[in-house]
Amino acid sequence: MSKLTITEALAEIQTIRKRISKKQKFVQNYLYRQEMLKDPLQADGGSVAAIEHELQSIHDLETRQIELRRAIAKANTVNTIKAGEYEMTIADWLVWRREIAPGLQTFLSRLSYQLVQIRQEAQRKGAIVTSGEAKNPQDYIVNISERKLTEDIENLETILGTLDGQLSLKNATIVIDV
């Protein structure tokens, strides 16, 4: 068993991917030849043996990649990060950042944009935008706290920034056993 930081494991995974790609190209290059041509790998045991060796090597690299990912996933389920007022496991934060945050950013931006649009429309019509009682029937009533919306947008940006920094820090400091 070896000990690596998550950053080192992720770098090794990238290296494994490149090595697998090169080995696959090697196999493809020596997959067949015409009988009349000399086996270019004859001196090293022949193309058949070389391909078998490369296929086994690809399998071993894939197994190593799975082991690295498993160790990273295990570490991500037990280590936590605090961003803003929220604390979750790294695994949960990764899901949140990938699946929740983009939709939340879009939604909050749309709300903010809609409020800007309605203010412009109200101004063209000579109406007022208010969060309280409207004085005229053509006035617009906003049913959300604009201050809270602005705070939510800022908090989301702060959380995402904090999260990126914390993930980098955790990846560099958490040691996994592979």
Predicted confidence (pLDDT) at residue 132 exceeds the cutoff of 90: no
Answer yes or no: is pLDDT of 137 > 90. no
Give the residue-averaged pLDDT of 92-103. 98
Task: List the domain range (segments joined by +) for residue 134.
Answer: 81-177
Q: What is the mean pLDDT of residues 118-125?
A: 93
Structural domains counted in the chain: 2
**b/e map 102-137, b = 16+ CB within 10 Å:** eebeeebeeeeeebeeebeebeeeebebeeeeeeee
Residues 74, 86 within the same domain? no
User: Which among 49, 54, 52 is positioned nearest to 21, based on CA atoms?
Assistant: 54
Same domain, 97 and 68: no
Which spans in the chain are helix H?
Answer: 6-29, 47-78, 90-95, 101-125, 146-173
pLDDT of residue 133: 83
Question: What's the predicted TM-score (pTM) here?
Answer: 0.82
Taking each helix axis from N to C terminus, what angle separates 146-173 and 6-29, rounded to the nearest 10 degrees? 70
